[in-house]
Amino acid sequence: MKYKSKHIVPIGTEGIHVLNTGDWRIQRPLIDQEKCIKCGICLLHCPVNSIKKTDGKFIITYDYCKGCGICAHECPKKAIILLPEEEK
Partner 1 sequence: MQKVEILNGNKAAAIGAAMSRPGVVAAYPITPQTPVVEYFSEFAANGEVDAAISEVESELTAMSVVTGASLAGSRTFTATASQGLALMYEPYFRASTLRLPIVMAIVNREMISPQSVWGGQQDSMSVRDAGWLQMYAEDNQEILDMIIQAFKIAEDKRVLLPINICYDGFYLSHMTERVLIPEQEKVDAFLGSYKPEHIILDPEKPMAVDPLTNGVLVMEYRNKHLKAQQNALTVLDEVDKEYGRLFGREYGGAVEEYRMEDAEYALVTTGSMSGAAKDAVDMQREKGIKAGLVRMRMIRPFPKDRVCKALSRVKSFGVVDRNVSFGWDTGIVYQEVKAALYDGDNKVPSVPIIGGLGGEDISVGMMMDSIDRVVKAAAEGKNSECIWLMNEEEAK
Write the DSSP symbol of residue 24.
Answer: G
Whichever of 12 and 84 has its CB closer to partner 1, that residue is 12
- Choose between 25 and 81: whose C-beta lies nearer to partner 1: 25
Euclidean distance between CA atoms 60 and 28, whole angstroms: 10
Map the footprint of partner 1 across residues 1-30, applying CB under 8 A. 1, 3-5, 7-16, 18-19
Torsion over CA: 47, 57, 85, 73 (sign): positive
Least distance to partner 1 from the beta carbon of 12, Å?
6
The amino acid that residue 86 corresponds to is: E
Residues that bind partner 1 (CB under 8 A): 1, 3-5, 7-16, 18-19
